[in-house]
Structure 1
Amino acid sequence: MSSDFISNLARTAGVVALVAVPLALSSCQVRPLYAESTGVTAKLSSVSFSPASTRVGQEVRNQLIFVAGRGAGEPAKPEYNVTLTATASTAGVLYLASSDTSQAGRTVVTASFVLKNASDGKVLKAGSRSAVALVDFPTQEFAKQRAIRDSEDRAAREVAQLVGADISAALSR
């Protein structure tokens, strides 16, 4: 092949790419999840959350209420209801054979949710999210229990953010 042919082919490919790329990108619709124009903020502020049965569930619920209401609390007349259940488990990961104890562990908080219309009960979204928080176990028992509680709170805040993003995405459709 001659170098002129290769040069013309490269030039033609460059022109085609110059035209094709902007056309392809113009079809993309990227917008912020909480954009005012989508109405997600107003919809989120009209979501109520079911009462929690555990301390960790209450922590997840409180964080979700704060995220959804932007700090304003729960709505008086909700348009959407979320049934929420949350569980936590902590397990040791670094065992000392000499004392049969663990020096560190991991806490997993799992939240399952169902988002429904308040008017007709139609399910809009259902899902489950998990978050992990690492924890060091001190030798003193009270300090160990407090460290586990703190790790549950950290994981609960993280899982609430994930569930909140799922709910926001469902309401933006």
Structure 2
Amino acid sequence: MSSDRLFKFARMAGVASLVAVAGLLSACQVRPLYAVSTGVTQKLSEVSFSDVNTRVGLQVRNQLIFIAGRGAGETKTPKYSVDLSVSSGTGGVLYLPSSSTSAAGRTTVTASFTLKEISTGKVIKSGSRAVTSLVDFPTQEFAKQRAIRDSEDRAAREVAEMVAADIGAALSR
């Protein structure tokens, strides 16, 4: 008889915990960042990005424009501006003593940004993001340069995605 009571108690506790979890989840306000109802998509399309001087910086800027405008390009009447600064560097990590060269390396792209409201000049968000991309160094010099360039492009795309997510989150508040 005591095992029957224990079974009923366990079943009631299970039902009570399910009801409690359902209540907690119903209070959750999780929603997609780029949902139409949040207005983030509209605000992102009103962002302009500063000019940059390097090839990698241009890759980051172009990707940000593509993400913010949903492929439509940069806006003509921006309400927000992003001051963008991009740096990159590549270094070897796997040293081969026999040839005094590296067989593999990594490329790091760092993007620093400041999001401002143009009408007031108020800084909404500033931050810095960095992405590291791994690269193999072939023995041929042209192939090595091309591998480094591809690594920079991969890292630039990734850092642009991270910066765009930061900007979107800041504009959603």
Q: Give the TM-score normalised by structure 1.
A: 0.94
Aligned residue runs from structure 1 range 46-125, under 5 A: 46-125=46-125
Q: CA deviation at 1:53?
A: 1.9
Report the counterpart of residue 15 of structure 1 in structure 2.
15
Write the distance in 2 (CA, Å) between the matches of 1:74 and 1:61. Answer: 10
Write the distance in 2 (CA, Å) between the matches of 1:59 and 1:44. Answer: 18
Q: CA RMSD in A?
A: 1.5
Q: Could you say what secondary structure the match of 1:72 adopts?
A: coil
User: Partner amino acid for 2:32?
Assistant: P
* Residue 164 in structure 1 maps to residue 164 in structure 2: yes
User: Partner amino acid for 1:163?
Assistant: V
Q: Percent sequence identity over matched residues?
A: 70
Write the distance in 2 (CA, Å) between the matches of 1:21 and 1:146. Answer: 53
Write the distance in 2 (CA, Å) between the matches of 1:109 and 1:144. Answer: 18
Q: CA deviation at 1:159?
A: 0.5
Write the distance in 1 (CA, Å) between the matches of 2:102 and 2:18. Answer: 60
Q: Give the TM-score normalised by structure 2.
A: 0.94
Aligned length: 173
Write the distance in 1 (CA, Å) between the matches of 2:14 and 2:92. Answer: 58
Q: Could you say what secondary structure the match of 2:156 adopts?
A: helix
For structure 1, the residue ranges without an aligned partner over 5 or more in a row are none
Write the distance in 2 (CA, Å) between the matches of 1:8 and 1:129. Answer: 54
Q: Could you say what secondary structure the match of 1:11 adopts?
A: helix
Name segments (4+ residues, structure 1) moved above 2 Å.
Answer: 2-9
**Could you report, residue by residue, the CA deviation over 1:21-73 in whole angstroms, capped at 9, with x for unpaired residues?**
11111001221111011111110000000110211111100110011011111
Report the counterpart of residue 141 of structure 1 in structure 2.
141
Q: Could you say what secondary structure the match of 2:91 adopts?
A: strand
Deviates more, 1:139-148 or 1:39-48: 139-148
Q: Could you say what secondary structure the match of 2:13 adopts?
A: helix
Report the counterpart of residue 41 of structure 1 in structure 2.
41
